[in-house]
Amino acid sequence: MNPKAVKTCRNHCRACLWSKHVDESVPGDRNSVCNGMMYPMAVTTSGKKGLQIVHECAKCKARKLNKVAQDDNMELITKLSQIPYDVQP
């Protein structure tokens, strides 16, 4: 079970970092009709939000960002951070 993250809204498993595509336009809207599984593909950094996990939906290929929580799997985040990722399409 994933405990509630401190200072962020976690939308992913803290161990494997996978997520589910439930939001469409804004975090928490739960308007996605896709409901596909989203795999962690990279990590990026935002000056305002800090480290963020880049998730890609295995079903529709949508990409979403979510802040890294303090108790997320840092070993996996370190591995993901070594994968080059450009936020710009």
Sheet containing 19-20, strands listed edge to edge, beginning at the edge strand earlier in sequence = 19-20, 37-46, 50-57, 63-67
3-state secondary structure of 67: strand
pLDDT tens digits for range 42-85: 999 888 889 999 999 999 999 999 999 999 999 999 999 998 87
pTM: 0.81
Cα–Cα distance, 15 to 76 (Å, whole number): 8
pLDDT at position 26: 84
Domain-by-domain residue ranges, the chain?
Answer: 19-81
CB of 68 within 8 A of CB of 54? no
Confirm if 62 and 34 have CB atoms less than 8 A apart.
yes
Task: Please calculate the CA angle 71-10-3 and round it to the nearest 5 degrees.
Answer: 55
